[in-house]
Amino acid sequence: MISIEDLRLAVTLARSESLSAAARTLNVSPPALSMRLRKLEVRLGLTLANRDARRLSLTADGERFSRESARLLEQLEALPESFKQQDEQLVGTLRLAAPFGYGRQRIAPLLARFAKLHPQLCLHLDLRETPWPDRHDSDAVIHIGHLNDSQWVARLLTPNDRWLCASPVYLEHHGTPSSPEQLAEHRCICIRENDEDVTLWHLRKGQGRKTLRIEPAMLSNDGSVARRWAEQGLGLVLRSQWDVSDAIADNRLVRVLADWQFDSASINLLVPSRKLRSPRVQVLVAFLEEALKG
């Protein structure tokens, strides 16, 4: 007899790079997980995975079993909702993954509102440096910027321009650049959050296009740290509109070269295809689209 735990094991293995990673997700020890996997393979009469100390890969049978397990788990989780009237509260668990900064600053307050609307839901917010593709076990994922993966459906939540900013103190001491070429004379703070070439800045103004190679005076992999450095007068920073808008409103930062547009990084919600989307996810999509529109 196949149990729900067996289904969850198969789905977790498909989303993990190693047995150790799968064990951490399931909160068990690697030896215990290995034993569970062997027992499941014996019960099925199949080899589900090839594994060694560092790598884990599913066999063709393992991939098929994982897909069917994910489908069955989705149906089981949605079963209680199928007996609910439309005006009754949603139940079950809803898992959302988001980047650290945007998740803390924008998504967490919205989920607090969402929780009050649906008090019988158990909400999980998983903040990570790279929520996609790390969190395939989530029901939905907040992703900022361009997306190459097409396995899930991307729903645009809100545009997100990037603004070049500096503190009033910095601009008073070093002057305000009036053209992109003058940036070479200024201290620039860069943010390395992924594999992008963060020192190559693309600008446009009407039909004009410019590409600049920036020599960073300071560099961090944390956008909030870079913004605070700029607020302290240490240089110019290119940062998402959502992160600097409050600082600009409080005059801690001033937007520079506002007539030029830098590459944008839109805010998207990644969700499974419609046939695999639970009512909980559909309600979350509608809520976030309404809350973040414009």
How far is CA 254 from its chain centroid? 28
To the nearest 10 degrees (0 to 180), the angle between helices 4-14 and 30-44 is: 110
Percentage of the residues of the chain whose pLDDT score is greater than 70: 88
Q: Where in the chain is the domain with CATH 3.40.190.10?
A: 88-159+267-292, 162-262
**Each residue's pLDDT tens digit, 240-286:** 998 999 999 999 999 999 999 988 888 989 887 765 567 888 899 99
**CATH 1.10.10.10 spans which residues of the chain?**
4-81
Q: Three-class SS of residue 137?
A: coil
pLDDT at 46: 85
Nearest of 106, 160, 25 to residue 291 by alpha carbon: 106
- Which CATH fold would you assign to the domain 162-262? D-Maltodextrin-Binding Protein; domain 2 (3.40.190)
CATH code reported for the domain at 4-81: 1.10.10.10
User: Per-residue pLDDT averaged across 154-169, rounded?
Assistant: 92
Task: For residue range 187-245, list pLDDT tens digits in order.
Answer: 999 988 666 677 888 889 888 888 989 899 999 988 889 999 999 999 999 999 989 99
Question: Any idea which architecture 88-159+267-292 has in CATH?
Answer: 3-Layer(aba) Sandwich (3.40)
pTM assigned to the model? 0.63
